[in-house]
Structure 1
């Protein structure tokens, strides 16, 4: 089951805020009133322990008061500024490795309401070469990460493992054969709209050819691990309303529970 963390965060933040407000407006005045009555009835000053007991917040109110500001800050940062993600698969190799932790710029493509994902402030549009996080069109509970190769109005052709944008082949330069003796994979530099990035191509994987016209408000995306990526070639375009943000940086790598986090490969994502 895929949990919607954004929804959970919004609900918990709202709940703690409501409980804190309820205590502040209803129960805190009653506690102060009880203290005043006790002081009026007492001939001597009330002991400090009794005063503290009368003013003490119940556990749920104290917890809500402590948690709400923290949750609100996390919600604002995560929803409108930057959100961390972990790379779960190898579809973006060699750019992103399994276990990389990345930062996603949430405001680069405009501000969106959490959970609803409705854009209420416009900003930039995705461009060729952007690495984006988006909600998977076939199951919007799941986040995917791919590279934009087609924007609205483009004609995308993929033939013999070469990418064509509006009829122009995107040049590929061989960097390495892996392994060198009997290669099964090629490491290449691909120039997409004048910007370079690295991709993998399998030597023996079957060719997936096709031609697609990108409609308005949609984007065509590919994984950099071209023969090991389920992307727009298989399930179609990414609608604008499913965009989450632009992947900007790798800030940590963590292979798993039994290994230590690695900060030696902090870098920008190109």
Structure 2
């Protein structure tokens, strides 16, 4: 009987250990950092498909969007952040709120779909934003641009979605060199980062003037000709303006990176990007 009791106690202790480990992990993910895997090329070459990073949730404080969404389609699990922290939704405020800065790379909840997106914040509340001939205009002034050479990658299917990149040097075959123009963009507050251009991007290289409302932000991708962002309304598949409460956190550093369709393909790891700071 003593042996049976000992076995039962061991099982119970294991269950308690797993339970508290899950609670601690959940609190860590909700309060401090959230893992994020880059699924698309909209932020090249700042972020590449397969980059893995932790999002700093402490940077902007907390709102309903700080709670994790748990989506495991294979098991029929679909728990949205609003299902957990919906009581914080609706007033566009944050607890211990911090103001983001122009140029931050931000993870946020899409205003319409609730999916997590990552873009660069270029427009603050009260700003006017416009694109003229592919050049970002902030409050009527073009940003400073410097030539950054060319960005080169292999034309092949990338990431879990298996999408090939778009190339400025025309249609190229599998395995060929795919080129894009790179420029160094300097925002009014001095933030510098690289952007990519392919050519004319209908509806995005030349836009009307956007007036950023109070309590909202304007986001764009660094891969300017391959990003559905605030230049497009949510009804057109874009992001539109992003409310303050939809911000999840700031991306500061890449932890791990893999060019393969699975992180287990160790021969595709990009060791030069491990622990790389995000500019």
The reply to whether residue 68 of structure 1 matches residue 19 of structure 2 is: yes
TM-score, structure 2 normalization:
0.72
Q: Is the 8 A contact 2:130 2:206 kept in 1?
A: no
Matched with 2:197 is 201
Residue-by-residue CA offset, 1:157-177 (whole Å, 9 max, x unaligned): 111111111111101111214
CA, structure 1 residues 98+233, in 2 after alignment: closer, same or farther (shift >3 Å)? same
Q: Highest CA radius of gyration, 1 or 2?
A: 1
TM-score, with structure 1 as normaliser? 0.74
Counterpart pick for 2:8 among 54, 57, 61: 57
Tell me the secondary structure at the aligned position of residue 232 of structure 1.
coil
- The offset of 1:123, in angstroms, is 3.2
Equivalent residue in structure 2 for 1:263, among 263, 267, 271: 271
Taking the aligned partners of 1:262 and 1:130, their CA distance within structure 2 comes to 24
Q: Decide whether the 8 Å contact of 2:180 with 2:198 is kept in 1.
A: yes
Asked if 2 retains the 8 angstrom alpha-carbon contact of 1:161 and 1:209, the reply is: no
Is 2:242 aligned against 1:216? no
Q: In 2 relative to 1, CA 264–176 (structure 1 residues): closer, same or farther, beyond 3 Å?
A: closer
Pick one of 91, 94, 97 that aligns with 1:123.
97
Aligned to 1:111: 62
Paired residue total: 219
Structure 2 distance, partners of 1:63, 1:177, is: 55
**1:174-218 superposed Cα distances (whole Å, 9 cap, x missing partner):** 121467x95863100000121110000112444342211111111
2:160 match: none
Higher relative contact order (CA 8 A, sep 6+): 2
The aligned runs of 1:100-179 (5 Å cut-off) are 100-112=51-63, 114=67, 115=81, 116=85, 118=88, 121-140=95-114, 142-177=115-150
Aligned-partner Cα distance in 1 for 2:169–2:21? 55
Q: Distance in 2 between matches of 1:199 and 1:241?
A: 27
1:246 aligns with 2:219: no
RMSD of the alignment, in Å?
2.4
SS across alignment from 1:110: coil
In 2, the alpha carbon distance for the partners of 1:250 and 1:111 equals 22
Whether the aligned pair in 2 keeps the contact of 1:188 and 1:200 (CA below 8 Å) is: yes
What are the ranges of 5 or more consecutive residues in structure 1 without an aligned counterpart?
1-49
Q: CA deviation at 1:82?
A: 1.2
Structure 2 CA distance for aligned equivalents of residues 215 and 205 of structure 1: 25
Structure 2 unaligned residues grouped into runs of 5+: 68-80, 153-167, 171-178, 234-239
What SS does the corresponding residue of 1:249 show, helix, strand or coil?
strand
**Matches of 2:37 and 2:169 in 1, distance apart?**
33
